[in-house]
Amino acid sequence: MPQDRRDETLPELRHRTFDDALGRRIVDTHIWAVREGLRGADAYHLFDGYCQRLVIDGIPLWRAHAAMETLHPQWNGYGYTWRRDLNAIAPENYPHGDENEQIFVTSPFYALMQRARAGEDTPALRRRIENGPEECDFPILEEFHALGATDYLAQIFVYGEMGDRSQGTGIAYSFTIDRKGGFSDDDMTLVQATLPALSLAMKAHAGHVIASGLLGAYLGEDAGRRVHAGSILRGSVDNLRAVIWYADIRGFTAVSDTAPGPVVVELLNEIFEILTASLRERGGQVLKFIGDAMLAIFPFEDADRAETCRRALDAALEAIGKIEALSAARVAAGGPVAPVDLALHLGNVLYGNVGAIDRLDFTVIGPAINEVARIEALCQPLGRAVLVSAEFVEGMKGADSRLKSLGRHALRGVKERKEIFALELRATPA
Amino acid at 135: E
The confidence band for 7, taking pLDDT boundaries of 50, 70 and 90, is: low
233-423 CATH fold: Alpha-Beta Plaits (3.30.70)
Mean pLDDT (whole number) for 14-39 = 86
Whether residue 122 is predicted with pLDDT greater than 90 in this model: the reply is no
Whole-number mean pLDDT of the chain? Answer: 89
More reliable by pLDDT, 217 or 374: 374
Instruction: Give the pLDDT band (50/70/90) at residue 1.
Output: very low
* CATH 3.30.70.1230 domain span(s) along the chain: 233-423
Mean pLDDT value across residues 369-392 = 95
- CA–CA separation, 107 and 321 (whole Å): 44
Summarised one tens digit per residue, pLDDT across range 149-200 is: 999 999 999 887 655 544 447 899 999 999 999 999 999 999 999 999 999 9
Q: Are 141 and 99 in contact (CB under 8 A)?
A: no
Q: What local confidence, expressed as pLDDT, does residue 286 receive?
A: 94
d(CA 149, CA 296): 52
Predicted local confidence at residue 34, as pLDDT: 94
Q: Which of 217, 236, 331 is nearest to 285 (CA)?
A: 217
Task: Indicate whether 5 pLDDT > 90.
Answer: no
In the CATH scheme, what is the homologous superfamily, with its name and number, of domain 5-218?
A: GAF domain (3.30.450.40)
pLDDT band at 2; cut points 50, 70, 90: very low
Numbered ranges of CATH 3.30.450.40 in the chain: 5-218
Q: How would you class 393 by CB atoms within 10 Å of its CB: exposed for 0-12, middle for 13-18, buried for 19 or more?
A: buried
Model confidence at 303, pLDDT cuts 50, 70, 90, reads confident
Does residue 411 have a pLDDT over 80?
A: yes
pLDDT at position 3 over 60: no
| Position 86 pLDDT exceeds 90 | no
Reply yes or no on whether the pLDDT at 138 is more than 70.
yes
Q: What is the CA radius of gyration of the chain?
A: 28
Residue 243 β-bridge partners = 298, 346
Asked if pLDDT for residue 427 goes beyond 70, the answer is no
Instruction: Give the pLDDT score at 342.
Output: 97
